[in-house]
Amino acid sequence: MDPTTLTWQPYGEEHLPALTGLAQACLAADGGLPLFVQSPLLRARLLQARTLGAWHDGELVAAVGVGTDRRPVSMTGLVHPAWRGRGLGGRLLSWAGEQAGGEELLLTTETWSPGAEALFAARGFDRTFVEWVQRHDLGALPDVSAPEGLRAEPVTWDAGPELFATYQASFADRPGFRAPEAEEWLGELREDDEYRPDLSLLAWGPDGRPVGFVNVIGTWIDQVGVVPEWRKRRVGAYLVARALRSLAGDGAGEAWLCVNDDNPAAALYRRLGFADAGRRARYLLRRP
């Protein structure tokens, strides 16, 4: 496959099926975020203000979308596994850099690979974020007993303020954490058609104060939080295990979650039966 036979041109909404096929090929080879091949996220990442694709015999083999309407300028690019090692990734990065002008460039990848990491580093990008995507086969479920004195119930909107307060208390000590307004955070949950309050859980201690929570969106364990004084008591493990059982009882065959690369919870999730299914990351090209 000779790179000189490629046709380079912009792409648009009408090429969504081709973009989907390219993303599926990269996801199959590298792992990563399965939601990437669904139209909403694919559009957000690749159908940006400026686009460039490489075509070979009618097949899209490389693509990049660049968003110039925000700062830093954003980009996401893909190269088909069969076409890697031929300079296509470098050309996509060079073109995206030209579109950014002198602005900083934020690169997002939902299908991380070691080869891409090496290329980004060689081009001066610094990795600012990386997390594991993990999958759980719900044919084998963990059994975790409830910690003594803990009571957990499905989320109700009447308990929304308590849910938000538990979220805030659980994440407040994380570096860089910025708590949104309660109405904003709860409003996003209410507006998400896939949010499952019936499978999500809010946990209380024996004194009646909330101490932990888990939010379920679709088949995803979206957020898990435990307030500091209740950590290391199996609260998170119990809530996740119970959510997995609820998902299985609801007919799901698998569950997913994302966890930061340096978060100790990643090891907990592996002990509960989650398996690594790839990584996703962000990189920043800083300008002098």
CATH number, domain of 242, equals: 3.40.630.30
Is residue 54 located within the same domain as residue 153?
Answer: no
Is residue 65 located within the same domain as residue 87?
Answer: yes
DSSP string, the chain: --GGG-EEE---GGGHHHHHHHHHHHHHHH---GGGGSHHHHHHHHSSSEEEEEEETTEEEEEEEEE-SSSSEEEEEEE-GGGTTSSHHHHHHHHHHHHHTTS-EEEEESS--HHHHHHHHHTTPEEEEEEEEEEEETTS----PPPTT-EEEE--GGGHHHHHHHHHHHHTTSTT-----HHHHHHHHHH-TTB-TTT-EEEE-TTS-EEEEEEEETTEEEEEEE-GGGTTSSHHHHHHHHHHHHHHHTT-SEEEEEEETT-THHHHHHHTT-EEEEEEEEEEE---
**What mean pLDDT is predicted for residues 46-70?**
97
Is residue 152 located within the same domain as residue 72?
Answer: no
Does residue 191 belong to any structural domain of this protein? yes
- The number of distinct structural domains making up the chain is 2
Instruction: Report CA-CA distances (Å) from 164 to 35, 173, 213.
Output: 26, 15, 10
| Residue 67: strand pairing partners | 74
Does residue 270 belong to any structural domain of this protein? no
Q: Which residue has the tokens 């003594």?
A: 148
Q: What is the rounded CA–CA span in Å between residue 89 and residue 109?
A: 13
The share of the chain scoring above pLDDT 90, in percent, equals 94
Is residue 18 located within the same domain as residue 61?
Answer: yes
- Summarised one tens digit per residue, pLDDT across range 219-239 is 999 999 999 999 999 999 999
Is residue 125 located within the same domain as residue 175?
Answer: no
Is residue 113 located within the same domain as residue 144?
Answer: no
Q: What is the rounded CA–CA span in Å between residue 156 and residue 206?
A: 20
Q: Which of 288, 255, 260, 285 is nearest to 272 (CA)?
A: 255
Does residue 257 belong to any structural domain of this protein? no
Is residue 151 located within the same domain as residue 53?
Answer: no
- Summarised one tens digit per residue, pLDDT across range 189-222 is 999 999 999 999 999 999 999 999 999 999 999 9
The domain of 83 spans 3-132+280-285
Is residue 62 located within the same domain as residue 114?
Answer: yes
Q: What is the rounded CA–CA span in Å between residue 216 and residue 244?
A: 10
How many Cβ atoms are within 10 Å of 275's Cβ, its own excluded?
Answer: 11
- Angle at alpha carbon of residue 137, lines to 189 and 259, rounded to 5°: 50
Does residue 181 belong to any structural domain of this protein? yes
What pTM does this model have?
Answer: 0.92
Is residue 174 located within the same domain as residue 104?
Answer: no
Does residue 264 belong to any structural domain of this protein? no
Residue 227, both tokens: 């307030």
Task: Give the confidence band of 118 by pLDDT, cuts at 50, 70, 90.
Answer: very high
Does residue 53 belong to any structural domain of this protein? yes
The pLDDT mean for the chain works out to: 96
The pLDDT score that the predictor gives to residue 177 is: 86
Q: What is the rounded CA–CA span in Å between residue 40 and residue 23?
A: 13
**What mean pLDDT is predicted for residues 88-115?**
97
The pLDDT score that the predictor gives to residue 29 is: 98
Is residue 16 located within the same domain as residue 114?
Answer: yes
Does residue 273 belong to any structural domain of this protein? no
Does residue 263 belong to any structural domain of this protein? no
Is residue 127 located within the same domain as residue 200?
Answer: no
For residue 156, is pLDDT > 90? yes
Task: Give the confidence band of 1 by pLDDT, cuts at 50, 70, 90.
Answer: low
Task: Give the confidence band of 288 by pLDDT, cuts at 50, 70, 90.
Answer: confident
Say if strands 50-56 and 7-9 run parallel, antiparallel, or are unpaired: antiparallel
- Summarised one tens digit per residue, pLDDT across range 236-252 is 999 999 999 999 999 99
Q: What is the rounded CA–CA span in Å between residue 240 and residue 119?
A: 37
